[in-house]
Amino acid sequence: MDYENSPSSSELPSYSPSSPSPSYTCQLGSGERLLEHTPQSHSSQNPTSLFIKKAGRSTVILNGQEDGATMPAYGRQAIISGNLLLEQSESIIEVVLKVKAKLDTTISEAGGTSIRLVDDSYTLWSQSLSSSTGQKTTCPDQVHFSARLPITFQHSGKTYPLPPSYSASYFAIPSLIVRSSYTLHFIITRIRHRKLDLWPKTKQILIPFSYCPKTRANRPIIPSPCFFSSVKTSPEEWHQAISPLKTRPNAKMDPLYCHLFVPAGRIYGLADTIPFHVQLSGNICALQDLCCGAELGRVMSVDSDTTVVSNSSKRAQTSPPLLRVSLLRQVSVSMRSVNSWKNTAMGQATLWPIPPDLGSCCSSTAQCREGHVDWEGEVQCNKDITVGAFEAGNVNVKDFITLVLTPPQPYKSPWLQLQVTIPIRLVTDSFAEVTGLEVGLAQS
C-alpha cells in the first residue's frame, strides 16, 4: 500500500451528524389515508379470568383464561404467565417449569412415531443459584413465572408453524391416529429432612392446555341474491370447476358438463355459510336421459341427503340423491415411505333448484337444443369442528368442497358417478369488515 499517496484526515470531507429517525405512530397524519386494516374481533379480546389447579401442598394459578374454563388455552406466541403457591416452601430446593408439546401419529401400515414440537425448560427458583448469588436461600411461598410459546418447530430440516391441539382417530383398517398435545410440567423438588439433603423427592404437576392459534379469512364472501347477475358483473368473485360426465364404454351419449362455483377466495371461516352454484349443461335430451325423463327443474329442496328428482315414486325416494355437496376433510400421514389418509364429511349442504324448468323438452331428438339446469346451495361446517386446516411435520390436514353426482339407477345408467372436488382452506375466524368506529379506535 502506498502510504505516501494516502489522503490525510485533514483532506477528508466533513460530515454533518445524521438527523434522528422520524417517530412513527398508528395515527394518520395530514394527507394520509388508511389503505388496509384487519381489526381484532370482539370475540378474541384477551380473557382476564384465572385457571386454578391445586395439587397437594402446591397451587398453580394461570392468568388470562376464559371464565369457567376446564382447560387453559393459549393462542399464537402467547405468554404463559401466572403464579405458583407453595406450602412449606422452606423444604423446597428447586422449582422448574417445562413447556412440552408433541405430535403423535400412528398408521397400521408403518407403526407409530412421535415428533417433539416444544421442549422448553425454565428454572423458576433454585437453592444453589440463590446461594451463589448471595440471595435468600429459602424458597418463597409464591413464585411468579412467565414463558412465551414459540411460533414454529423444526422437523426433517423444514420449519413448520406449531399445529393446533388436535385429535383424530380412525380405527377401521387401515387405521390412522393423529394427536398433537401440549402440557405444562411443574417440577418441585424438596428435601426429605432439613438436616439430610440426600435423596430429595420430586413432585410433578401436569396441566394439559389447548393451543388455539387464530387465523382469519383474507377476503369476505360477497352476498349475492342472484348468481347469474353476480357472475356476469363480478366474475372475479367466483371460482369455477368444470368436469365432464364420463360414460360407460361404447355408450353413445351427447357430452354433459358439471360446473361448480364457489366464492373465489377459497379461504373461509369455520362459522361461515358458504354459498355455491351447480350447473349441468349440454343437450337437453341428454340431460333428461341423465335424470330418467324427470322434470329437471323440480328438485326436493330440503338438503343434499334428500335431493332427488321430483318425479319420484317410492323407488326414487329410496335411491341415492342426484346431487350431494359436502365439506370434506382429509387427514394424511407420511411415515417410512408410506402415505395413509382418511376422509371425513364435516357438513352436508342444502340445495334448491333455480328456474326456469327445463323439463319440457322438444318432441324429437333432432330438435334438441343446448341448455342447462341449475341449483344453488349453502354449506356450513359442523359445530363440533373447531380446528382449521394445517400442515405439521408428517401430518397434513386439508379441506375440500366436494360434489357427488349419482345418476338414478347407477348400475343401468350410461353415465358414471361424478365427483368434483375444489380445495379450500378453513380457518378459525371469518373475515371482519372495518367499520368507521373500528377505524377510529385503530387510529386512537
Which pairing describes strands 256-263 and 79-86: parallel, antiparallel, or unpaired? unpaired
> What was the pLDDT predicted at 3?
46
Q: Based on C-alpha coordinates, what's the Rg of the chain?
A: 32
Largest CA distance in the chain: 108
- Asked if residue 82 has pLDDT above 90, the reply is yes
Whether the bond into 408 is cis, omega within 30 of 0: no
66-94 mean pLDDT: 94
- Asked if residue 399 has pLDDT above 50, the reply is yes
Contact of 72 with 182, CB cutoff 8 Å? no
* Cell numbers describing residue 74: 393459549
> What was the pLDDT predicted at 295?
42
Q: What does the alpha-carbon distance between residue 304 and residue 381 come to, in Å, rounded to a whole number?
A: 14
Which of 107-111, 271-275, 282-286, 423-427 has the least mean pLDDT? 282-286
Question: DSSP string covering 44-83, please?
Answer: GSPP-EEEEEEETTEEEEEEEE-TT-SS-EE-TT-EEEEE
**Percent of the chain residues past pLDDT 70, beyond the cut:** 76
- Tell me the pLDDT band of 198, cut-offs 50, 70 and 90: low
pTM of the model: 0.78
Tell me the C-alpha to C-alpha distance, in Å, between residue 4 and each of 9, 10, 14, 207. Answer: 13, 15, 22, 74
- Tell me the pLDDT band of 298, cut-offs 50, 70 and 90: very low
For residue range 161-172, list pLDDT tens digits in order: 999 999 999 998
How many Cβ atoms from other residues are within 10 Å of residue 162's Cβ? 22
For residue range 337-370, list pLDDT tens digits in order: 999 999 999 999 999 988 765 555 555 555 678 8
74-85 mean pLDDT: 96
Question: DSSP string covering 4-47, please?
Answer: TTSPPGGGSPP-PPPPPPPP--SS--TT-------PPPGGGSPP
> What was the pLDDT predicted at 369?
81
> What was the pLDDT predicted at 256?
93
Which of 195-199, 301-305, 328-332, 393-397 has the least mean pLDDT? 301-305
